[in-house]
Amino acid sequence: MSTFDDRERAEEAKYAHDSALNFKVMNRRNKLLGLWAADLMNLSGSEADAYAKTVVMADLEEPGDEDVFRKVRGDFDAKGVDRSDARIREHMAELLAIAREQIMKETKD
């Protein structure tokens, strides 16, 4: 086995690890977003958890964040929650940093 083969395998392993980590971070961010949105819609307990799962599932519709944003925006509109598009997107960004920190901490433990 050559050094090139070793390097290629190492790069493939790193890519797979980074992809899995990013998937976990995005799922965590979406769960946190769902819990935040549920709170604003006066959902709690199992209802809040169930709603958060629908937000996580919404991310499987298409690449990127637009599917998640549309889900929350539509639910806010339906429930009369007054949050601007900019505030929702800003909170998504804030939660992404929190989710990344939480996942990184969990992977170290």
pLDDT of residue 98: 98
pLDDT of residue 102: 96
* Range with lowest mean pLDDT among 9-13, 71-75, 87-91: 9-13
* Domain that residue 13 falls in: 3-108
**Interval 55-82: pLDDT, tens:** 999 998 888 899 999 999 999 999 999 9
- CATH number for the domain including 52? 1.10.790.20
Three-state SS across the chain? CCHHHHHHHHHHHHHHHHHHHHHHHHHHHHHHHHHHHHHHCCCCHHHHHHHHHHHHHHCCCCCCCHHHHHHHHHHHHHHCCCCCHHHHHHHHHHHHHHHHHHHHHHHHC
Mean local confidence (pLDDT), 33-45: 97
Which stretch, 9-13, 62-66, 82-86, has highest mean pLDDT?
Answer: 82-86
Residue 47: pLDDT band (50, 70, 90) is very high
Query: What total number of domains does the chain contain?
Result: 1
